[in-house]
């Protein structure tokens, strides 16, 4: 068990290497300052440039100032690590697929290119290999290749994909999907949605409509509105989270592309400012590259 946990951490560490280097490069540099105040000032800047954001960075540094008397580098690092852990721990709430909801309906949300369809494919692979029956619904009827991309994942995982023609009504796709999932006794129904329409307000109106259709067919569904965010877009991701949460209501977040050049601090900003559960992190393009978010593991890999 312990060795499995250990190899999990090592694996995550390897995936987060670039993100770790980006944040730790500037933090280590900050720690070499000659006075406590100089160090804390540089640390605050290092956190801001690592996408932690002004508000959260200053809260973290104020906390360190309150507990740190001297300028011991190792102690400071330890305090920084526990400050970040405490923020992230609050949003560590893995997604649980309720057995009473059949189908459990998960709607994926997010602007174009963040990794919605890929995350859906990874989730389908995960649930289906744990013995659940999964169905996908191609609710992005706007972008021409979106349906084919979802079908590719459906084929890989071996689960059905409900679709209509390109340009069709996503509300109708979702309606069909819920009926089909109920008829077949499907455990998990995952809905893909568009990331871009002609305008942002069109997109929000369409997503609200999809949500209404779902709720009418199955009161209380969707059971999870999973917002997918691309970690490499920094503070934009925080703005997207605010926007989707206000318009649609977000119950969980999947943060993708942490294996790339993302500076990683955005996860701390999202956790501290929005307090929305972070369900998953994406660390690559294959089915195995979606991990449950675990605050302890993540901080160990990051700092």
Q: Interface residues with ligand GTP (CB under 6 A)?
A: 110, 112-118, 140, 143, 146, 195, 256-257, 259-260, 282-285, 289
Q: How far is the CB of 227 from Mg ion (least distance, A)?
A: 14
Q: How far is the CB of 225 from ligand GTP (least distance, A)?
A: 15
Nearer to ligand GTP, 217 or 289 (CB): 289
- The partner in contact with residue 168, picked from ligand GTP, Mg ion, none with C-beta cut-offs of 5 to 8 angstroms by kind, is none
Nearer to ligand GTP, 161 or 283 (CB): 283
Distance CA 209, CA 205 (A): 6
Nearer to Mg ion, 19 or 240 (CB): 240
- The partner in contact with residue 151, picked from ligand GTP, Mg ion, none with C-beta cut-offs of 5 to 8 angstroms by kind, is none
Q: How far is the CB of 257 from ligand GTP (least distance, A)?
A: 4
CA 233 to each of CA 114, 132, 197, 229, 299: distance values in angstroms, whole numbers, following the listed order: 9, 33, 20, 8, 20
Q: Is 193 in the site for Mg ion (CB under 5 A)?
A: no
Q: How many CB atoms lie within 10 A of CB 202?
A: 13
Q: How far is the CB of 116 from Mg ion (least distance, A)?
A: 5
- The partner in contact with residue 240, picked from ligand GTP, Mg ion, none with C-beta cut-offs of 5 to 8 angstroms by kind, is none
Distance CA 231, CA 18 (A): 13
Q: Per-residue DSSP letters for 225-289? A: EEEEEEGGGTHHHHHHHHHHHHHT--SEEEEE-TTTT--SHHHHHHHHHH---EEEEE-SSSTT-
- The partner in contact with residue 160, picked from Mg ion, ligand GTP, none with C-beta cut-offs of 5 to 8 angstroms by kind, is none
Q: Which of 187, 184, 61, 81 is nearest to 127 (CA)?
A: 187
Q: Is 117 in the site for Mg ion (CB under 5 A)?
A: yes
* 117 close to 150: Cβ distance less than 8 angstroms: yes
Nearer to ligand GTP, 44 or 192 (CB): 192
Q: Is 256 in the site for Mg ion (CB under 5 A)?
A: no
Q: Per DSSP, which regions of the chain are E strands?
A: 104-109, 134-139, 161-162, 188-193, 224-230, 252-256, 278-282, 290-292
Q: How far is the CB of 106 from ligand GTP (least distance, A)?
A: 14
H or E stretch including 110? none
Residue ranges in contact with Mg ion by CB under 5 A: 116-117
């Amino acid at each position: 068990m312990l060795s499995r946990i250990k190899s999990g951490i090592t694996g995550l560490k390897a995936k987060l290497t670039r993100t770790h280097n980006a944040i730790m490069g500037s933090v280590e540099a900050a720690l070499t300052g000659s006075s406590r105040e100089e160090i804390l000032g540089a640390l605050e800047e290092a956190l801001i440039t690592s996408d932690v954001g002004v508000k959260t960075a200053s809260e973290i540094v104020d906390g360190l100032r309150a507990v740190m008397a001297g300028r011991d580098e190792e102690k400071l690092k330890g305090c920084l690590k526990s400050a970040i852990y405490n923020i992230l721990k609050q949003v560590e709430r893995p997604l649980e697929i309720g057995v009473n909801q059949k189908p459990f309906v998960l709607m994926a949300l997010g602007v174009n290119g963040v990794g919605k369809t890929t995350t859906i494919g990874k989730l389908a692979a995960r649930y289906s290999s744990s013995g659940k029956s999964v169905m996908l619904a191609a609710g992005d009827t706007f972008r021409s290749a979106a349906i084919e991309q979802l079908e590719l994942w459906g084929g890989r995982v071996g689960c059905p994909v409900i679709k209509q023609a390109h340009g069709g009504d996503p509300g109708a796709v979702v309606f069909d999907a819920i009926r089909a999932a109920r008829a077949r006794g499907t455990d998990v129904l995952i809905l893909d949605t568009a990331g871009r329409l002609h305008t942002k307000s069109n997109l929000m109106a369409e997503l609200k409509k999809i949500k209404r259709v779902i709720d009418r067919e199955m009161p209380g569904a969707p059971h999870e509105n999973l917002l997918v965010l691309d970690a490499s877009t920094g503070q934009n991701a925080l703005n997207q989270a605010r926007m989707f949460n206000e318009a649609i209501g977000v119950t969980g977040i999947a943060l993708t592309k942490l294996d790339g050049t993302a500076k990683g601090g955005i996860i701390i900003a999202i956790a501290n400012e929005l307090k929305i559960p972070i369900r998953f992190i994406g660390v690559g393009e294959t089915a195995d590259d979606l991990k449950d978010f675990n605050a302890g593991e993540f901080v160990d890999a990051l700092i």
